[in-house]
Amino acid sequence: MTLIVILVTSKNAHSRSFLLLRSFFYYTLELVLFISHFQYSLHSKMKGIRYDGKSYIIVDTNGDGNCFYHSIVASNKVNITDAGILRKYIYEKVSEWVNTASQEMVVVLKIYGALQDIRVTLHEFINRQRQSGQWGSSIYMAFAAIVLNVHICSISNKMKEFDVFSTAKFFQVKGFDDYIHENAETVYIYHHAYGRPFEPCLNPNHFCTLFLFLNCMLLFY
């Protein structure tokens, strides 16, 4: 409080240096106030999480069965702004690749073989995923990443600890990370129990968007 009085009553209040100093002071003050209210450990009244030394702001999405696609749209990392259109676009592209003898077809088959229940054929899977309401999982992330040319990092709030799936790491292990541009942006999403984002659960069933704190605009809801 003393510092505020000194700044306000300074005789050099109209100087450029004073204005810069005052702007810096108020920015720092706002930042300190925000951090003091930010969640550095899980708490039901907060709207952020901390993982691997980084802080994230949570932006919720509609729980209509398309939450994974809503979370991708809300990241502002893709050009499509409608979750339903995004879903159809991804699987139309996957279907197109499957029906052509191309390198992309090989990658699709590898992704499907590694992540999907083999009791469902690839064509059945694609037809299902074109329909609204199909829930997301790691295979959705892999297909979305390779079609949209982004990395997707999902942090799941499970019972004992956060469970993380990274398409970048998955592609690297499988040996086809060359299909994602080296400068591709990363979409961060949060997987949790619907309506209870800070309660660990056995089977998370809702996706929302995560924004790295200090690397993006601060968003509140």
Q: Digits of tens for pLDDT over the chain (221 positions)? A: 333 333 333 444 456 666 666 666 656 655 554 444 443 333 334 478 888 888 898 988 988 889 999 999 999 999 999 999 999 999 999 999 998 877 888 888 888 888 886 778 888 888 888 888 777 788 999 999 999 999 999 999 988 788 999 998 998 888 876 777 778 899 999 999 998 988 889 989 899 999 987 644 443 33
Rounded-to-integer distance, Cα 63 and Cα 49, Å: 20
State the burial class of residue 2 (Cβ atoms within 10 Å of its Cβ: 0-12, 13-18, 19+). Answer: exposed
Rounded-to-integer distance, Cα 56 and Cα 72, Å: 16
* CATH of region 41-212: 3.90.70.80
Domain chopping of the chain, boundaries:
1-37, 41-212
DSSP string for 106-161:
HHHHHHHHHHS-TTS-HHHHHHHHTSTTPPP-HHHHHHHHHHHT-EEEEEEEBSSS
pTM reported for the whole predicted model: 0.72
DSSP string for 149-206:
T-EEEEEEEBSSSEEEEEHHHHHHHHT-GGGS-TT--EEEEEEEBTTBTTS-BSS--E
